[in-house]
């Protein structure tokens, strides 16, 4: 919507801290949004020692994360996330976690 785009441009003008990709900001495009962020980080923040991506429904403890990352045995290449073991895909299209077949 044009009004939403105008609001984003105003926000960007004030703070200069927005990225905008060519996809909907929806749960179904979460993978696309994550890849967009990672590509941007590689291109624009290559010297950053860490990149943190979290959703608005995620609870973080920054001091715990910092302590872990500063530990001498923290691997240089690290991905942290939640792995769902032994779970079947949800095929119900009404579910926010819907995974379509093939």
Asked if residue 50 belongs to a domain, the reply is yes
Measured CA to CA, the distance from residue 64 to residue 66 in angstroms comes to 5
Long-range contacts of the stretch 92-101 (C-beta < 8 A, 24+): 96/27, 98/28
Task: Identify the domain containing residue 7 by its residue range.
Answer: 2-70
Of 40 and 98, more confident: 40
Asked if residue 38 belongs to a domain, the reply is yes
Q: What total of structural domains would you count in the chain? A: 1
Instruction: Give residue-wise pLDDT tens across range 93-102.
Output: 998 888 888 8
Asked if residue 96 belongs to a domain, the reply is no
Instruction: Give residue-wise pLDDT tens across range 43-84.
Output: 999 999 888 888 877 888 999 999 988 899 888 888 887 777
What is the structure's pLDDT at 56?
A: 78
Backbone torsions φ then ψ of 83, nearest 5 degrees: -105, 130
Asked if residue 46 belongs to a domain, the reply is yes
**pTM, 2 dp:** 0.66
Asked if residue 98 belongs to a domain, the reply is no
């Amino acid at each position: 919507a044009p009004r939403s785009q105008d609001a984003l441009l105003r926000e960007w003008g004030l703070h200069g801290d927005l990225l905008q990709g060519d996809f909907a900001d929806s749960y179904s495009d979460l993978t696309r949004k994550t890849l967009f962020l990672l590509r941007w980080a590689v291109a624009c923040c290559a010297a950053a020692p860490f990149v943190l991506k979290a959703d608005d429904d995620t609870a973080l403890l920054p001091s715990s994360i910092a302590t872990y990352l500063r530990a001498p045995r923290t691997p240089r290449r690290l991905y942290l996330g939640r792995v769902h073991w032994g779970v079947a895909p949800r095929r119900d299209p009404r579910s926010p976690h819907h995974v379509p077949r093939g």
